Structure 1
């Protein structure tokens, strides 16, 4: 089902669970969210401890993998509906696995559980170096 079909499907099923998602790459860009979800969800700056964001050879988007001493800055998207989770799952495809993580809001006062898309192969030889959102999306 494409994005437009999923949005149409949701209008027929108004009772939706709401989810929180930690994003750290392409999904931090409002224009990407508007294309995928047809809206820009409420967001807050957040930090994910115990993970590292890496570049992927020949890709413009990053991966995260567990690394104890590292942390990843990103955003929390709030109020994500079930059908929107389906859209995000399709966007992230089979290379990522969706897991539940604990994130800290940047104000440091609140921790919460959120979904995150983690790279499926921690030993992937195509992972290298840090990935920088500003370099990719502000050029």
Structure 2
């Protein structure tokens, strides 16, 4: 019954990774209208490795673990303080695996990275796979991005900028 009228069908929304709830709905006679997929971790290799940036954008520090992506490198980009992940046989880009991002937080990070990056699944040496923001092409320097140099020269100002734009990013993400 919805607002005093009988409904011929109803829908339930289940949190994506809630397999026990999914199984219970089937036992109770509901029809599942789509596949339940487990959320994939996000592999970050540049500015999103820094607590100050994550805190500024998301308001918290997600759970994370050290990881690397073989066959990729975090390349310095012409005129930018942030890197781009580019294919590079023989390399393994160091980074972090963020494992507990909410849908809202993923939307904010997607809006932050915007259309300049492609979201792709990459293999991780820590086991499994993760999604990563991959730089498509252009403006790639021959050298790798230097996280320590970024931390020393740009992190404070960059994190402050992230805090200023976070509300707009959340709005753009439709959250």
| TM class, shorter-length | 0.7 to 0.9
Aligned counterparts of 1:56 and 1:32: Cα–Cα separation in 2:
19
**RMSD (CA atoms):** 1.7
Tell me, which stretches of 5 or more residues in structure 2 are unaligned? 1-12, 18-38, 154-175
- How far has the Cα of 1:14 moved from its partner? 9.2
**TM-score where L is the length of structure 1:** 0.79
Q: How many residues align?
A: 119
Which residues in structure 2 correspond to 1:98-137 (within 5 Å)?
Answer: 98-105=119-126, 111-121=127-137, 124=138, 126-128=139-141, 129-137=143-151
**TM-score where L is the length of structure 2:** 0.63
Aligned counterparts of 1:19 and 1:37: Cα–Cα separation in 2:
18
Tell me if 1:60 matches 2:60: no
**Of Structure 1 and Structure 2, which has the larger fraction of its residues in strand?**
1
Tell me, which stretches of 5 or more residues in structure 1 are unaligned? 1-12, 106-110
Greater RCO, 1 or 2 (C-alpha within 8 Å, sep 6+): 1
Greater C-alpha Rg: 2
Aligned counterparts of 1:83 and 1:112: Cα–Cα separation in 2:
24
**Of Structure 1 and Structure 2, which has the larger fraction of its residues in helix?**
2
Tell me if 1:47 matches 2:68: yes
Aligned counterparts of 1:79 and 1:23: Cα–Cα separation in 2:
13
In the TM superposition, structure 1's runs of 4+ consecutive aligned residues that sit over 2 Å from their partners are 13-19
